Amino acid sequence: MPKECQHTLWNSIRQGNEKAFRQLFEEYWEDLFSYACKITRNHSFAQDIVQGLFIHLWEKHSALPEVNAVLPYLHSALKNRLLNALRDENLYQRHVDLFKETNKESDHSIVEHLQFKETEQQLLHSINQLPVKMKDVFYLNRIENLSVAEIALRQGTSPQTIRNQLNTALQRIKSLWIVEILIVLWLL
């Protein structure tokens, strides 16, 4: 697509033209999806990220910057979304691996079992302190293993809202755990 047409198409989208948005989607979906698949090597994950990008573009169409070359802008936006998603997924996976490793190494003595149960109760208590919607999103993502896009569809909100709720939930849980650890260390 010539640069002049790209510029006109982009400006039409910024003004809320659905037809122009559909044309943008049809023009660039496959290229962006292929790029995301090369990075993630996971078609489902790549599809979620690209869909999230297009949803974000439509929801924020009036606040989009003026762009002369659309494809480089889309690639840059997608790259940023991919990096954020991969970072979040990597952090979560490291915690899961650590818990699994810790669980494997224990000899399942009664004391360790009680400590594990107490930790589990503290974690559940921390999760229960979250606001209801945030707790629901956290549960759907971490316990039922639903993707961000699936949760957004189920709750009727944008994937970015779901990602924000997940990030906030993780930060709140982490801060509650840090406070508990500091109290324990202070008592020692």
**Residue 131: which CATH number?**
1.10.10.10
In a domain, 188, yes or no: yes
Which residue among 52, 83, 114 closes a domain? 83
Number of structural domains in the chain: 2
Question: What is the span of the domain harbouring residue 180?
Answer: 106-188
Q: 41-45, 100-104, 141-145, 148-152 — which one is most confidently predicted on average?
A: 148-152
CATH number at residue 27: 1.10.1740.10
Question: Could you read off the pLDDT of 148-175 as tens digits, one per residue?
Answer: 999 999 999 999 999 999 999 888 888 8
Query: What is the share, in percent, of the chain residues with pLDDT greater than 90?
Result: 40
| 62 plus 112 within the same structural domain | no
Top-confidence residue, 10 or 95: 10
CA 164 from chain centre, in angstroms, equals 7
Q: What average pLDDT does range 19-23 have in this prediction?
A: 94
| 77 plus 2 within the same structural domain | yes
Distance CA 160, CA 152 (A): 8
Average pLDDT, the chain: 84
> pLDDT category, 104, cuts 50, 70, 90?
low
Top-confidence residue, 151 or 104: 151
| 179 plus 117 within the same structural domain | yes
Question: Could you read off the pLDDT of 113-150 as tens digits, one per residue?
Answer: 677 777 778 777 888 888 989 988 988 898 888 999 99
| 79 plus 110 within the same structural domain | no
Nearest to 25 by CA among 57, 62, 60: 57
Residue whose entry in the numeric block shows the structure tokens 């360790």:
112
